Amino acid sequence: MSQPARPIVYHIPICPFSQRLEILMELKGARDAVDFRTVDITKPRDEHILKLSGGTTALPVMELPNKGALKESLVLMEFLEDSFPEPAIRRADPYERGLESLLITLADPMIGAGYRLILNQDRGKTEELKAAYLKAAENVDAFLRAHSKGEGPWLFERFGWAEAAFTPFFLRFAFIPYYEGFDLPEDGRFERLLEWRAACLAHPAAQQTSEEEIIKVYYDYAIGTGNGGVPEGREVSSFVFEPHWKDRPMPPRAKYERRASDKELGLL
């Protein structure tokens, strides 16, 4: 009997939404059941991928040979969970599944606030943006305090569905202390969230990227240019694949004072 063709996921390796899928498949011990194909975000999108996505450029996009395509990371997570049911990563109980989804929904304001902070170029707005980030983080902390069960750091007994969706952003948010000199304060207000974050970041299924890679590749976000665009006065995006991030120096932390050249970033 012939095996059905593997789902193909077109993805940007550094994209947090794509990492959700990699973590999920890692948790299932089945990363190779999906054909992950790398797309360079700094180049125009391939016709084939645009056709799959119906014209939008955001990745990940999944191609199902002989069927069609799907997009949106949470939809793709559900598809993979249903297609590779063993081991289940989502909870079985409907209420517990609801709590997982609720926690993921609460992640959105925190994610938005973190990206607004890193992309901001106006020092006059920094304090307000930090406060918004902390407010969103407080809501996640309160949710964990109210709903997590048991002794461990997780929402439920183990690193699960909500952790798979959230951890990529905890990793990306390494750019906040580096470029803003600011992090969730250790004054007790965020204790539960900090415990969760530390456990998520240390989990073996979530090691697809590193703090060093994030800080180097996301330099352009710190100076206000997202999604692989080329900042004014530069020729190369910090999201390019070559030169490899390992061969580049750590970027300057000062984001409000000045902007580094392609050469200083090791991009030429």
**In the complex, which residues of this chain contact ligand GAZ (CB under 6 A)?**
12, 15-17, 41, 57-60, 72-73, 111-112, 115, 226-227
Cα–Cα distance, 82 to 222 (Å, whole number): 38
- For the stretch 168-205, what's the b/e string if a residue is b when 16 or more beta carbons lie within 10 angstroms of its beta carbon? bbbbbbbbbebbbebebeeeeebebbbbbbebbeebeb
Classify the phi-psi angles of 7: left when phi > 0, otherwise alpha if psi is within -120 to 50, otherwise beta. beta
Measured from the CB of residue 218, what is the shortest distance to ligand GAZ in angstroms?
A: 9
| Residue with Cβ nearer ligand GAZ (155 or 165) | 165
Measured from the CB of residue 152, what is the shortest distance to ligand GAZ in angstroms?
A: 27
Which of 209, 210, 260 lies closest to 236, judged by CA?
260
| Residue with Cβ nearer ligand GAZ (57 or 139) | 57
Cis peptide before 44 (omega within 30 of 0): no
Phi, psi of 230 (to 5 degrees): -100, 120
| Residue with Cβ nearer ligand GAZ (50 or 199) | 50
Q: Tokens at residue 70, please?
A: 């799907």
| Residue with Cβ nearer ligand GAZ (73 or 209) | 73
Give me the residue whose beta carbon is nearest to ligand GAZ. 57
Identify the three-state secondary structure at position 23. Answer: helix
Q: Tokens at residue 255, please?
A: 């984001």
Measured from the CB of residue 7, what is the shortest distance to ligand GAZ in angstroms?
A: 15
Cα–Cα distance, 77 to 113 (Å, whole number): 24
| Residue with Cβ nearer ligand GAZ (65 or 112) | 112
Measured from the CB of residue 249, what is the shortest distance to ligand GAZ in angstroms?
A: 23
Measured from the CB of residue 149, what is the shortest distance to ligand GAZ in angstroms?
A: 27
Cα–Cα distance, 78 to 84 (Å, whole number): 10
| Residue with Cβ nearer ligand GAZ (13 or 153) | 13
| Residue with Cβ nearer ligand GAZ (9 or 144) | 9
Measured from the CB of residue 50, what is the shortest distance to ligand GAZ in angstroms?
A: 10
Tokens 């994610």: give the residue: 111
Measured from the CB of residue 12, what is the shortest distance to ligand GAZ in angstroms?
A: 6
